[in-house]
Amino acid sequence: MQPSFDTNKPIFITIAQWLEDAILADIYTEESQVPSITEISIQYNINPATALKGVNMLVDSGFLYKKRGLGMFVAKGAYDKLLERRQQQFFEDYIKPLVIEAIRLKITAADLQAMIERGYDNDN
Partner 1 sequence: MTIDIQNISKRFGQTQALDNISLKFGQKKIYGLLGNNGAGKSTLLNIITGRYLTDDGILTLDGEPLKDNDKALNQIYMLSEKDYYPETMKVKDAIRWASVFYPDFDEKLALKLTEKFGLPVKKKIPSLSTGYKSIFKIVIALSANTPFLLLDEPVLGLDAGHRDMFYKLLIERYSENPCTIVISTHLIAEVEGLVEHCMIIKDGRIIKDAPCEDLLNRGYSISGPAALIDDYIKGKDIISSSNLGGLKTACLNGAMPNPENLPVGLEAGKMNLQEYFIQLMKEGEVKGNE
Rounded Cα gap, residues 56 and 66, in angstroms? 10
Partners of 43 in the β-ladder: none
Segment contacting partner 1 by CB under 8 A, of 7-15, 26-34, 66-74, 107-115:
7-15
> Of the two residues 19 and 46, which places its CB atom closer to partner 1 in the complex?
46
Report the alpha-carbon distance of residue 122 to residue 115 in Å, rounded: 10
The residue type of 31 is E
Is residue 38 involved in binding partner 1 (CB under 8 A)?
Answer: yes
Classify 73 as helix, strand or coil.
strand
Q: Does position 8 bind partner 1 by CB under 8 A?
A: yes
Of residues 47-66, those binding partner 1 (CB under 8 A): 47-50
Residue numbers at the binding site for partner 1 (CB under 8 A): 5, 7-8, 10-11, 37-38, 41-42, 44-50
